Amino acid sequence: MLKTNRFKVVLSMPRDLPISNGSLFVSFDKEYRIRELCFPFVGEENHVEGELCRFGMLVGGNFEWVDDTWNIERRYLDDTLVTAVSLSHPSFPLKIEATDCVDFEENIYFKKMTLTNCSEDSIFCRLFFCHDFHILGNDIGDTAEFRPDSSAILHYKKDRYFLISGYANGKYGIDSFTTGNIHTGALEGSWKDAEDGVLSENPITQGSVDSVIALDLPLLAKETKSATYWIACGKTWEEVKRLHLLVKKRGPDSFFLRTQNYWKLWLDQDPIPQDVLPPPISALYRKSLLIARAHMNPGGSIIAGVDSDVMQFNRDTYSYMWPRDGSLIAHALDLAGYNSSAAFYKLCGHLIEKEGYFLHKYNPSGSLASSWHPWFKEQKKQLPIQEDGTALILWALGRHFTIFHDIELMRLLYDSLIKKGADFLMTYRNLDTGLPLPSYDLWEERRGILTFTTATVFGGLVAAARFAEAFGDTSLASEYREGAALMRKGMDKYLYLTKQKRFARMITFDPQGKIEVDDTVDASLYATFAFGAYAPDEEQVRSTMAQIEENLQNGGGIIRYPKDPYYRSSENSPGNPWFITTLWLAQYKIAIAKEKKDLQVALSLLEWVASHALPSGVLAEQIDPETHAPLSVSPLTWSHAAYVITIEQYLQKLSQLDICPTCRRPLFLRS
């Protein structure tokens, strides 16, 4: 997922509180300003592109934008994708509560502000909401205009429309507005017009534009009032007008209520008893499920992360579907009992190349995405793939079938995906070594024969063999199993380093056929047991994992490998701890546990992860080991998936080890 080949520090502002219905996605920065708004796919067509959609307040004669001078507590309402944010400013005698949601069905974003006047005097409040849209991902040729028939501001370009209006003091519509140019010469934007508390009501602007609306909220002494504003998103004027009229018909509060109820119902499909896990760990588990679900599109794509700040690094984002990430996120939801992944597997059946492999990554809509893996390097042709992506889809699909026995889905995908993918894994091998041919690693930094990739190919072939047996292709099943067995032998002979007592990260062959070994201790070596190539208690795995635990700890978590340069704070730093790598160690501790007390180490690692999440529960990719600040993309869906997988493995092992001493039955049984 990462292109990193040099030391670089990039300052970014983590995204928080993602809310989504699968078509409309919104997230905020740490100062609670909208920084991402995607429609009609999660991650594709980001119409804000990381620009600031400010909001501010005039209270009495004092104006303030919400920024780092405010005290802001960002959280979700329990078990929902509905926010619960508290704000205060030392200049304002106000208690402010805010909540946001994207309706679970209609493409409407809502923000409700509830203000309580804490003073003994009446005060006049005016709320300002700004919109710096880059429709279709750029700020060329946009229009912002006031529509008096709807008392709303409309932003549009081509077939994308965004209607903005509000409700306050018992009436629908906005109290004031303006539009203007932004990112154009010396023009700063119409948001500057708000700072004197009065908007100029310029009715239309074209080009690179922004807009501001105002909602008035006079408050008597000790009085509490609310104001709500919304953005209706559609592909035509008629569509956003329909959504606007729907809000007026039903009332904005009804959308908050039904969206809360929907997410609670969704989350309660397979609940965990409250006393099984410590409350912080259990709470993060539920939030992780919701955040993973927020990054799924109805068409099946599962997005790695929506955070425009990472564009500072290489002018690209994480707003793509990597086959590897997608398969592991789908697997996490499967383990938790949420059959939400079928659409992902169906999409994979359409995306797989006719030769049987997946390319680097895909856009949320399913089209081929940008790549830095070349087809031609050092005067030679090469296949620009990460083979682990193909293998992990087969492995995860095999686990999906074990959990849900979804025979109709398997019938649909057996020829188009399973056999095609497994046949590729069989042909893309070095027949002398039994190992895969070279491909790019999971970190997207190097190309060779990776232990991680080889372990995933083993798991993919074993899964394909089970499918072949189920469909009566016994000879094909035998071929796949033989291929997996030869791969295991190749790992023993070529990838395990007897002297170092651990697996190599990677081997390559020079032009004369001599093996070159990369013996770096890499957290990804956990794959040796994770996908079935080795048992977790085999000595090769034990020794490898012990060296990972000994050499890769920093700040309580696990780094990827020594001197990892990605977002490293200094040349002297060993690297930043990642959530997924820390959770891999926890998964190993769970796998080798023989008694209930052996699970305590894994539980401590889960507690470390929970304690380093944002207060909302959002997990970034990595953290600064000294400040504990989130680094790189936030949230990273893979981090949340790894957390869910680890929890599910913990619960399964707990049900095996926590036995009643009298009746010898499990005290806890995970369904």
The reply to whether 285 and 202 lie within a common domain is: no
The reply to whether 217 and 246 lie within a common domain is: yes
CA nearest neighbour of 518 among 585, 456, 441: 441
Average pLDDT over residues 191-200: 95
**234-248, 497-511, 567-581: range with lowest mean pLDDT:** 567-581
The pLDDT of residue 7 is above 60: no
pLDDT for the residue numbered 6: 34
The reply to whether 213 and 284 lie within a common domain is: no
The reply to whether 251 and 278 lie within a common domain is: no
d(CA 20, CA 23): 7
Long-range CB contact pairs, 548-551, < 8 A, 24+: 548/521, 548/522, 548/523, 548/585, 549/585, 551/521
Q: Has residue 648 been placed in a domain? A: yes
Q: Has residue 313 been placed in a domain? A: no
The pLDDT of residue 154 is above 80: yes
The pLDDT of residue 11 is above 70: no
Q: How confident is the model at residue 70 (pLDDT cuts 50, 70, 90)?
A: very high
Q: Has residue 36 been placed in a domain? A: yes
Neighbour-count burial of 238, counting CB atoms closer than 10 A to its CB (0-12 exposed, 13-18 middle, 19+ buried): exposed
The reply to whether 294 and 236 lie within a common domain is: no
One-letter identity of residue 478:
S
Q: How confident is the model at residue 1 (pLDDT cuts 50, 70, 90)?
A: very low
Whole-prediction pTM: 0.95
The CATH number of the domain holding residue 125 is 2.70.98.10
pLDDT per position as a tens digit, 530-556: 999 999 999 999 999 999 999 999 999
pLDDT per position as a tens digit, 634-662: 999 999 999 999 999 999 999 999 887 77
Average pLDDT over residues 388-398: 98
The reply to whether 165 and 289 lie within a common domain is: no
Phi and psi angles of residue 346, each rounded to the nearest 5 degrees, phi first: -65, -40
Q: Has residue 93 been placed in a domain? A: yes
CA nearest neighbour of 292 among 32, 617, 74: 617
Q: Has residue 437 been placed in a domain? A: no
pLDDT for the residue numbered 44: 96
Q: Has residue 671 been placed in a domain? A: yes
pLDDT for the residue numbered 311: 58
The reply to whether 35 and 74 lie within a common domain is: yes
The reply to whether 219 and 283 lie within a common domain is: no
Of 248, 267, 286, which one is at a domain's C-terminal end?
267
pLDDT for the residue numbered 10: 42
The reply to whether 145 and 83 lie within a common domain is: yes
CA nearest neighbour of 441 among 505, 377, 362: 505
d(CA 142, CA 55): 21
Q: Has residue 612 been placed in a domain? A: yes
pLDDT for the residue numbered 665: 79
The reply to whether 162 and 26 lie within a common domain is: yes
- 46 has which bridge partners? 38
- DSSP classification of residue 53: B
Residue with tokens 């992506």: 389
d(CA 123, CA 554): 52
The reply to whether 283 and 234 lie within a common domain is: no
Answer whether 251's CB lies under 8 Å from 166's CB.
Answer: no
Helix (H) or strand (E) holding 503: strand 502-503
Q: Has residue 459 been placed in a domain? A: no
- The pair of three-digit structure tokens given for residue 404, joined into one six-digit string: 């849900």
The pLDDT of residue 197 is above 70: yes
Question: What is the span of the domain harbouring residue 594?
Answer: 271-298+552-671
The pLDDT of residue 323 is above 50: yes
pLDDT for the residue numbered 3: 35
Q: Considering only residues 548 and 568, tell me which one the structure prediction assigns the higher pLDDT.
A: 548
- How many domains does the chain contain in total? 2
The reply to whether 62 and 35 lie within a common domain is: yes
**147-151, 152-156, 297-301, 377-381: range with lowest mean pLDDT:** 377-381
Tell me the percentage of the chain whose pLDDT exceeds 90: 90
